[in-house]
Structure 1
Amino acid sequence: MYTNFEAMTKVKVLSYTISLDGYGAGPEQSLEKPMGLGAEHLHDWLRETKVFGKMVGQELGSEGFDNDFVEKGFENLGAWIMGRNMFGPIRGDWPNGEWKGWWGPNPPYHVPVFVLTHFEREPLTMKGGTTFYFVTQGIEAALEQAKKAANGRDIRIGGGADTVRQFLKAGYIDELHLAVSPVFLGSGEHLFAGIDMVSLGYKTVQRTEGELATHLVITKG
């Protein structure tokens, strides 16, 4: 049974970028091409924002609608859940403790982050309040741990597309914000593969044209 704080928590997908043909990443993701082949411009809308500029130590970037959505994506967060692909390109067992994510010593999360994986690894504490916990028991275990850590605040589900699909199929997502980038990928990780959003009860409640992306906010009807 969840506590009152846990019952207040909402599970959200925020600032998740897809292409015009619905892909969240291209094929053949790697260390050199973390978003896959042909996807180098997928996140142009995000990289042009002031919030992203601050993340990489630059006082540059726009302050329009795109930036507003990125800012909202960090409000009232108490925990993150992400797939292993979002944490890094390593596959199989963890060979050593050298890989600590894409983000350097001070990741942008600043809350507990629960990483879905099939292989055990000790928690990884980083600067700025981010600790990565590696969960091998599946999405329900990760969600239970994240709700306890969030203490009434919201939980943000990160990528990749397979992680988002798992939470959608299970009916755990309360709100889904998609940023549709004006590019085609043709193949890769399709966000809605095997998912009937109508039968799951979702509907679009808000559409906003940003500077470099179209933003769709989707909730259950």
Structure 2
Amino acid sequence: MPEGMWTEPAPWIKFLRKNIWWIGGTLLVLMITSMRFFLVRRPPPPPIIGEVPAFTLVDHEGETFTRDDLLEEDKVWVVGFVFTSCPSTCPAVSRAMVLFQEQVAASKLEDHIELITVTVDPETDTPEVLKGYAEKIGADTRNWRFLTGDSDAIEGFVVDGFKLAVGEKQAIEGAPGVYDIAHSIKLALVDRFGNVRGYYSIDDEGMAELYHRSLRVMRIREEGE
């Protein structure tokens, strides 16, 4: 080609020139997206606020259940407190736990999160009664235990272990044979090492927080983290 004659640029150069702003903008978006992945900071797990002590209780199948059994499962635990003849708050607690279990199942986390319901009326709530209660509320007992025991064991578990008060049986005026027992309606979150990580209300906001905190605690692999 004679010297000084203009040469037409290659097709890919023409494409770059024509689309330079679009290409630059796309690369910028991709770069920012990639940086966000590396800069994102997971919030710390909820702090340890207590520890579940040694206990020996009995589940709805009549099988002994202890703290060692809990730890051997290597799961996160959500614990609620009810009694089966409760005329006031307990149905709401159990309903919230059923919905939570359904959420866990939908997320395919049944192998990582377990539920426990503990009665505060062990004199009435035998394993047989608890089994019937579990069926009544629609609980999936493959990853949900209902626990009872003698009065001292229950008191030790609830009061000494979870630092929650349990009242005496109080007859309800105008309702013969019906009584109430004051107790916490919050759900406790326990990590795989038996540490209590928090208490959560059973309203929508509290249950959403419990679910996300459960996921965070589920990732903990070292005791004391």
| TM-score normalised by L of structure 1 | 0.30
Q: In proportion to residue count, which structure has more strand?
A: 1
Q: Which is helix-richer, 1 or 2?
A: 2
